[in-house]
Structure 1
Amino acid sequence: MSEFSRRTFVAASGALVSGLALGQAPAAPLTAGEVIDRIKKQVGVPWRPTTVDNLLTGSPETPVRGIATTMMATLDVVERCVAEGKNMIVTHETPFYLHQDHIDDIKDDATLKYKQDYCQKHDVAIFHFHDHWHAHKPDGIAQGMMEQLGWQKNVVEAENPKRFVFDGVPLATFVRQMQVHLKANTIRVLGDPALPVRRVQTSWGYLSRENGIKFFASPDVDVLVCGETREWEAVEYCQDAIQAGNKKALIVVGHVLSEQGGMIWCAEWMRGFVKEVPVGFVAAREPFWGTTHCA
């Protein structure tokens, strides 16, 4: 051992002994419960007594080695998080196939049990973070989607980034630009490809029949962008509105890609108040592939 190495070793050993002599215990590991408490404090809105925003696997005492935000904690996402050393997952959508996370009706299902057992084996704590991320000012999903798409200069209201104005780019070009930013395979569109895009209303995630009709019928909307909607409700209405002569369009992105940007931004937000462990984003894969993938 060199003289430098010997001196370094002795100094480090002395510091360790001195710390122990002073009764300094090693710092306690960050727990899932502590992370959730910080989220509640930082999100900026009162925590609702009834909410889906709950810890679904693990426990508040689960030691956190790393944190991943994601749009949807699919089994694929959970496995990739574990491979990255991140055992706390902050997911926007449920990992258990129903928004309210009720599983009594499928508690013996083999796929559900496999996923639960995997989480238990790898000490994974999954936190469902939906209601309060939308309630954040601005809406965390809308803010993140605006940034992912690069629409900051087009927003009508910075505090509510869901409406945008553009300079009349043709609809087909507009959709291709969205596809590039979102790395999308299966965006679906109703409307004339040559339609000039000027006034855009977004409804990320699920679009209900009522909001679909309200938004599409508005004289202030040329193009409505949503994640998903029922084809016999809002889609049919939009088809009929276009057939009746309205110069409008509907863009259906898919639920995962329509909120993914919000969870990219969530990771950035969480890094502001979680310093003890790595915090990163893990993408949920787009579930469908299009015919362009066929040989």
Structure 2
Amino acid sequence: MGVTIQEVIDRLKDSGPDTVDGVDGLLFGDPDAPVSGIVTAFSATHRVLRRSIALNANLVISHEGIFYSHRHEQTVPEADSVRRDKERLIEEAGLAVYRCHDFVHRCRPDLITRGLIRALGWESYLVKESPEAGILHLPKTTLNRLVQRVKERLDLPYLRVAGDLSAECSRVGILVGYRGGGRTAIPLYEGEGVDAVIAGEGPEWEAPQYVKDAAFQGKGRAYIALGHAESEEPGMKYLAEVLGRSFPCLAVHFVPETPVFRVV
């Protein structure tokens, strides 16, 4: 008999810290069913689910919630038609969907943060890791050149930036997902001496506004907003590599998505 869905889940649970009381868990599917293939994704969008079916992968590992909320509710009275159509696709295709959020963030190093740093090609510049942030010491550059490097490496059509594009940058903080708020980002500037923070997202009136004031005061600080998915997708690609090494008999695919927003 081949590898079961539960065996893949156990691999994720056994190799990392305890995730009790978190959001990780099997949302759909039979844990005893054999795995025909695995797809990892930032979110199991309708497109990702269709792609999984085409790849003959019956186990989809989604970092974020699949029904537009952090916590998964099994039954929703009068569920929206978008959710109903998505549920129908999952059930008719016999897909198993596993939420893998807490595990990858609680690993040391955080697999999502490390995945982004790997995608940027900056592993050799990593000087410090905390549970929430990675600190890099890069060759001196300008904010503008740093932004262009990030866009090129992550293949992003645009970035949102606060700060003087001509300012020099060397020490950089990395914050993935929703860690880009003031509580996590602002202390990095003076506490860690960073010139710029590269973050997924956070309230716009917190760290970006802080950087705007800092720039007005003549302090060369910057904030680069990647977007939540754009900051965490590389980590789920990294997870696919990890699972591929753990289960060499299985086809493991990472399926990216297009950006949620467009500039018009």
Q: TM-score range by the shorter chain?
A: over 0.9
Residues 1:136 and 2:125 are matched in the alignment: no
Deviation at 1:233, TM superposition (A): 2.8
Partner of 1:169: 141
Write the mapping of 1:1-295 to structure 2, written as runs, cut at 5 A.
28-41=1-14, 43-45=15-17, 47-102=18-73, 108-157=79-128, 162-206=134-178, 207-218=180-191, 220-291=193-264
| Paired AA for residue 200 in structure 2 | G
| Paired AA for residue 222 in structure 2 | A
Q: Deviations over 1:116-163 (max 9, x none)?
A: 110001111111111111111211011111111000121113787711
**Which 5+ residue runs of structure 1 have no aligned equivalent?**
1-27
Please give the alpha-carbon distance, in whole angstroms, between the structure 1 residues aligned to 2:39 and 2:16.
21
Asked if 2 retains the 8 angstrom alpha-carbon contact of 1:170 and 1:193, the reply is yes
Asked if 2 retains the 8 angstrom alpha-carbon contact of 1:44 and 1:136, the reply is yes
Q: Deviations over 1:196-253 (max 9, x none)?
A: 1111011111123322332345461110110011113332233223223321000000
Please give the alpha-carbon distance, in whole angstroms, between the structure 2 residues aligned to 1:174 and 1:151.
12
Structure-2 change in CA distance of 1:60 and 1:290 (3 Å) = same
Asked if 2 retains the 8 angstrom alpha-carbon contact of 1:72 and 1:94, the reply is yes
Structure-2 change in CA distance of 1:217 and 1:101 (3 Å) = farther
TM-score by length of 2: 0.92
Asked if 1 retains the 8 angstrom alpha-carbon contact of 2:25 and 2:100, the reply is yes
Please give the alpha-carbon distance, in whole angstroms, between the structure 2 residues aligned to 1:233 and 1:49.
31
Partner of 1:5: none
- Number of matched residues? 262
Classify the secondary structure of the residue corresponding to 1:283.
Answer: coil
| Paired AA for residue 91 in structure 2 | Q
**Which 5+ residue runs of structure 2 have no aligned equivalent?**
none
Asked if 2 retains the 8 angstrom alpha-carbon contact of 1:52 and 1:130, the reply is yes
Classify the secondary structure of the residue corresponding to 1:189.
Answer: strand
Deviation at 1:105, TM superposition (A): 5.2
Structure-2 change in CA distance of 1:213 and 1:106 (3 Å) = farther
Please give the alpha-carbon distance, in whole angstroms, between the structure 2 residues aligned to 1:106 and 1:133.
32
Partner of 1:21: none
Please give the alpha-carbon distance, in whole angstroms, between the structure 1 residues aligned to 2:192 and 2:30.
50
Q: Deviations over 1:148-191 (max 9, x none)?
A: 10001211137877110122211111111110111112311011
| Paired AA for residue 130 in structure 1 | H
Asked if 2 retains the 8 angstrom alpha-carbon contact of 1:55 and 1:128, the reply is yes
Classify the secondary structure of the residue corresponding to 2:209.
Answer: helix
TM-score by length of 1: 0.83
Please give the alpha-carbon distance, in whole angstroms, between the structure 2 residues aligned to 1:269 and 1:233.
35
Deviation at 1:192, TM superposition (A): 0.9
Please give the alpha-carbon distance, in whole angstroms, between the structure 1 residues aligned to 2:226 and 2:187.
19
Please give the alpha-carbon distance, in whole angstroms, between the structure 1 residues aligned to 2:67 and 2:3.
26
Please give the alpha-carbon distance, in whole angstroms, between the structure 1 residues aligned to 2:206 and 2:241.
36
Structure-2 change in CA distance of 1:99 and 1:194 (3 Å) = same
Asked if 1 retains the 8 angstrom alpha-carbon contact of 2:12 and 2:103, the reply is no
Deviation at 1:87, TM superposition (A): 1.4
| Paired AA for residue 250 in structure 2 | V
Report the more deviating stretch, 30-39 or 126-135.
30-39
Structure-2 change in CA distance of 1:219 and 1:247 (3 Å) = farther
User: Where is the helix percentage greater, Structure 1 or Structure 2?
Assistant: 1
Structure-2 change in CA distance of 1:81 and 1:107 (3 Å) = farther
RMSD: 1.9
